[in-house]
């Protein structure tokens, strides 16, 4: 057999109090590198040096026992991360409050959704007062509201001078969050340096994306600003409550700072536990727009809202004509509740069909 080196001659230094990103294609060794930093894996050669307490949020469910309740797993996970029972007692309420799953804290975690796993795992990880926080791609599982909470907490950690290491395929988020980034391919370090330079190198040299399309990883340009959403009923009135099967319209209000030719408006619906239910955009509907300077609105009319009862979150996006450069993106722009309708349904969506018996 041949030896396979998951990491080969990878060396870099992360400055204290900075945010550092690890990027690369699937199987490049990013998550392995994070596990080495967390001392879950021991390198066969070389060494790793850390200063202060390290807390890690790695793959989904790491450190959790599926048969135990959320409450019991808080104590288990806290102990793994080095907290005494008295320390966990003092932080328990804060952990549960941040996770937002108070109602299910005494249920076995084997019944948790992936979003609930991430919520509880992240809440524990940030409450052990780490000097270094390691985060794998699992944050992508959480819903937009929770991602916003996590982003704010990470920003707070940075202000407090803590060190953050992130593994992610979301290059836009890495560019926004990280000071420096390391690019790993096939277990080898390709480049390490400022986030913008390393991400651009990854896109051009590894993914062979033309530099003209690098907007996919750049900040929103901001020529048009989404300002809010209204949910309208069948007659155009503001809908106080909606049910499965209702006719509704999502009205997106915006303000254009200058004229924009052929922008693409989009929206996605996400359930309360972070599951993407559906997404659509104006280009898919064949709509071509010319936006003038000043306020305006655009409607998405839905003849029948075929989602089951529950709470849903709306993400709004505007992209340029190439659909590569974001103009403005707002997560959790609007939230609304859907009541049971007729016919009732199970799951996330309704087929909207009609049963008929043979004659």
Encode pLDDT of 138-180 as tens digits: 655 556 667 777 777 877 888 888 899 998 877 767 777 788 9
The structural domain count of the chain equals 2
Q: Which of 156, 182, 217 is the last residue of a domain?
A: 217
In a domain, 348, yes or no: no
Please indicate, yes or no, whether residues 40 and 62 belong to a single structural domain of this protein.
Answer: yes
- Shared domain check, 64 and 158: yes
Same domain for 71 and 179, yes or no, is yes
The bridge status of strand 248-256 relative to strand 294-302 is: antiparallel
Q: Are 160 and 212 part of one and the same domain?
A: yes
Same domain, 168 and 256: no
Confidence grade of residue 104 (pLDDT, cut at 50, 70, 90) = very high
Residue 89 lies in domain: 19-217
Residue 350 lies in a domain: no
Residue 8 lies in a domain: no
Last-in-domain residue among 163, 184, 217: 217
pLDDT, one tens digit per residue, over 30-50 is: 989 998 998 888 888 888 888
Q: Is residue 306 part of a domain?
A: yes
Residue 107 pLDDT > 90:
yes
Output the six-digit token pair for 209. 């994306």
Query: Are 274 and 331 within one domain?
Result: yes
Q: Are residues 171 and 228 in the same domain?
A: no
Residue 145 placed within a domain: yes
One domain, residues 184 and 238 = no
Give residue 216's pLDDT band: very low, low, confident or very high (50, 70, 90). very low
CATH number at residue 67: 3.40.50.300
Question: Cα–Cα distances in Å, from 314 out to 19, 84, 206, 336?
Answer: 29, 41, 34, 8
Query: Quick one: what percent of the chain has pLDDT higher than 90?
Result: 22
Q: Torsions phi, psi of 82, nearest 5?
A: 100, 10
Residue 10 lies in a domain: no
Q: Distance between CA atoms of 127 and 246, rounded to whole angstroms?
A: 43
Domain shared by 167 and 297, yes or no: no
Q: pLDDT digits over 267-324, tens only?
A: 988 887 777 888 899 988 888 899 999 888 999 999 988 888 888 888 889 988 877 7
Predicted confidence band of residue 95 (pLDDT cuts 50, 70, 90): very high
Poorest-pLDDT segment among 88-92, 163-167, 326-330, 352-356: 352-356
Same domain, 296 and 202: no
Residue 27 and residue 153 in one domain? yes
pLDDT in tens, 61-88: 667 888 999 999 999 988 887 788 999 9
293: CATH: 2.70.50.60
Per-residue pLDDT, averaged over 114-124, amounts to 84
Are residues 155 and 255 located together in one domain of the fold?
no
pLDDT averaged over every residue in the chain: 83
Asked whether residue 183 is assigned to any structural domain, the reply reads yes
What per-residue confidence (pLDDT) applies to 144? 60
Domain boundary among 165, 185, 217: 217
């Amino acid at each position: 057999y041949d030896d396979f080196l998951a990491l080969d001659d990878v060396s870099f230094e992360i400055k204290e109090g900075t945010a550092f990103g690890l990027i690369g294609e699937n199987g490049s060794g990013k998550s392995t590198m994070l596990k080495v930093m967390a001392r879950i894996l021991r390198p066969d050669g070389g060494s790793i040096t850390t200063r202060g307490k390290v807390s890690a949020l790695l793959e989904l469910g790491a450190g959790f026992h599926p048969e135990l309740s959320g409450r019991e797993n808080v104590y288990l996970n806290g102990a793994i991360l080095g907290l005494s029972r008295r320390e966990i007692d003092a932080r328990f309420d804060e952990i549960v409050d941040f996770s937002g799953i108070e109602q299910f804290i005494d249920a076995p975690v084997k019944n948790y959704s992936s979003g609930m796993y991430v919520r509880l795992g992240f809440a524990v990880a940030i409450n052990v007062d780490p000097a270094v926080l390691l985060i794998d791609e699992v944050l992508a599982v959480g819903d937009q509201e929770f991602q916003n909470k996590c982003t704010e907490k990470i920003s707070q950690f940075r202000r407090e001078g803590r060190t953050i290491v992130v593994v992610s395929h979301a290059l836009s988020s890495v560019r926004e969050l990280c000071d420096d980034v390391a690019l790993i391919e096939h277990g080898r370090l390709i480049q390490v340096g400022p986030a913008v330079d390393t991400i651009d190198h990854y896109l051009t040299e590894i993914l062979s994306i033309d530099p003209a399309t690098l907007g996919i990883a750049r900040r929103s340009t901001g020529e048009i600003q989404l300002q809010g959403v209204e949910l309208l009923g069948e007659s155009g009135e503001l809908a106080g409550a909606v049910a499965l099967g209702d006719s509704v319209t999502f009205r997106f209000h915006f303000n254009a700072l200058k004229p924009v030719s052929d922008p693409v408006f989009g929206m996605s619906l996400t359930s309360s536990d972070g599951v993407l239910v559906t997404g659509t955009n104006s280009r898919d509907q064949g709509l071509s727009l010319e936006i003038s300077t000043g306020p305006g609105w655009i409607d998405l009319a839905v003849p029948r809202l075929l989602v089951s009862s529950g709470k849903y979150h709306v993400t709004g996006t505007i992209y340029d004509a190439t659909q590569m450069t974001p103009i403005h993106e707002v997560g959790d722009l609007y939230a609304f509740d859907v009541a049971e309708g007729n016919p009732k349904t199970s799951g996330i969506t309704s087929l909207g069909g009609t049963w008929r018996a043979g004659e």
